[in-house]
């Protein structure tokens, strides 16, 4: 969730419709399979640093990694690095966009990030 405190009230300015971003990253890590140590998100981030390609079709991984991931890997259309990069870029772009809007709406000068994905 993206929540703002303004005019003595909390406002929800953005939230996921189905699965939290951290949960989605963890699901992709389990599908690939990527080790849990030190954390799935960290390991996804490391793989995301060396993609071979980034295409619009890979954005669909964010919406349903369980259905899309095996097909892309089996067909050779994408590598684990491509999928990690795609998921990370899509998720974080969405978070940055809603956060920018929240800051503009509330005219806030400070931002506090909390939770596993924020780490």
Query: Which H helix or E strand runs over 9?
Result: strand 9-14
Can you give the pTM of this predicted structure?
Answer: 0.79
Task: Identify the pLDDT of residue 57.
Answer: 52
Helix (H) or strand (E) holding 40: helix 40-48
Q: Are the CB atoms for 105 and 71 separated by under 8 Å?
A: no
Q: What is the pLDDT of residues 12-59, one digit of tens each?
A: 888 888 788 888 888 889 988 899 899 888 999 999 998 887 655 556
Whether residue 15 contacts residue 48, with contact meaning beta carbons closer than 8 Å, is answered with no
CATH number of 2-106: 3.30.420.40
Where do the structural domains in the chain lie, given as residue ranges?
2-106
**Residue 2: which H helix or E strand, with range?**
strand 2-6
Q: Which residue has the tokens 């919406």?
A: 63
For 54-98, the pLDDT digits (tens) are 655 556 666 677 777 888 888 988 889 988 998 888 888 888 998
């Amino acid at each position: 969730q993206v929540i703002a405190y303004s005019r003595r009230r909390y406002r929800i300015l953005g939230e996921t419709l189905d699965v939290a971003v951290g949960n989605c990253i963890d699901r992709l890590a389990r599908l690939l399979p990527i080790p849990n140590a030190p954390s799935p998100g960290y390991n996804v981030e490391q793989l995301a640093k060396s993609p071979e390609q980034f295409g619009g079709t890979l954005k669909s991984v964010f919406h349903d990694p369980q259905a899309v991931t095996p097909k892309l890997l089996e067909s050779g259309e994408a590598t684990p690095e491509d999928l990690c990069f795609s998921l990370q870029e899509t998720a974080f772009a969405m978070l940055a966009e809603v956060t920018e809007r929240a800051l503009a709406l509330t005219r806030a000068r400070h931002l506090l990030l909390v939770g596993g994905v924020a780490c």
